[in-house]
Amino acid sequence: MKFSTNEDIDAPIAQVFAAVSDLDFYERTAIRRGAEVIRITAHELPTTGMKWKARFLFRNRMRDVNIEMTEIDPPHSMSFESQSGGLRSMLDIELVSLAPSRTRLTVGFELKPLNLPARLMIQSLKLAKGNLQKRFKKRVSDFATELASRPIRA
Question: What CATH class has 2-149?
Answer: alpha beta
- Note the pLDDT of residue 83: 96
Q: Which residues of 72-100 are buried (b: 16+ CB within 10 A; e: fewer)?
A: beebebbbbbeebebbbbebbbebeeeee
* pTM of the full structure: 0.90
In this prediction, residue 154 carries a pLDDT of 44
The tens place of each residue's pLDDT in the chain, 154 residues long, gives: 999 999 999 999 999 999 999 999 899 999 999 999 999 998 888 999 999 999 999 878 899 999 999 999 999 999 999 999 899 999 999 999 999 999 999 999 999 999 999 999 999 999 999 999 999 999 999 999 988 777 665 4
